[in-house]
Amino acid sequence: MRIIIDPGHGGNDPGAIGINGRREKDITLTICHYMAGILLHGGHEPILTRYRDIDVSLSNRGSFARGCSGELFVSVHCNSFNNSTANGFEIYYHPAAGLDSISLSRSIHDVVIDNTDLRSRGIKANNFQVLRDTYKFMPAVLIETGFISNPGDFELINSLVGQWRLANYISKGIMDFIGS
């Protein structure tokens, strides 16, 4: 299956800035590179919307996914809030999406929550542009891996081992959804 993996932000857009000045764009890129390797090893064709730290507009992410004839779209982000007690993992699908996007969300959510100490913030509908531009063409989800502003979540999402674990569990959720 051709899976489009979208590392959130990049280039001039650092995304959220977390503890010790850590940038969301760097964390998401590493997680997505790990995901690509895991999914490739699982017999799938992962394609990243960016392979390095470059600018990719929101509209270009969706058109790229469609142009590559993607069969799944997964956008990866880190959450942030001005109150450092906010924490947890959440996943989004487009409000008008079909059951496939909701099922993909559930599959990823359940594997991540069952295998990490991240608190579940749930599965939610949202009209994010990357979802709006992709959901009509393929199951599409946007993942908030944890809060870059929360010390507990940051410990997981900032370490290479934690990033690999997240990539592994997200990829397992994708493969469970696909049935591979």
Q: Give me the CATH number covering residue 49.
A: 3.40.630.40
Q: How many domains does the chain contain in total?
A: 1
CB 100 within 8 A of CB 70: no
- Per-residue pLDDT for 180 more than 80? no
* Tokens coding 83: 């109150």
Is pTM beyond 0.85? Reply is: yes
Residue 43 banded pLDDT, cuts 50, 70, 90:
very high
Residue 28 banded pLDDT, cuts 50, 70, 90:
very high
- Per-residue pLDDT for 140 more than 90? yes
- Per-residue pLDDT for 8 more than 80? yes
* Tokens coding 76: 């990866």
Active-site option among 45, 90, 144, 155 = 144
pLDDT on residue 77: 98
Among this protein's residues, is 24 annotated catalytic?
no
Query: Where in the sequence is the domain holding 82, given as residue range(s)?
Result: 2-178
Q: Which residues of 104-113 are buried (b: 16+ CB within 10 A; e: fewer)?
A: bbbbbbbbbb
As a whole number, mean pLDDT of residues 32-57 equals: 98
**Percent of the chain topping pLDDT 90:** 99
Residue 162 banded pLDDT, cuts 50, 70, 90:
very high
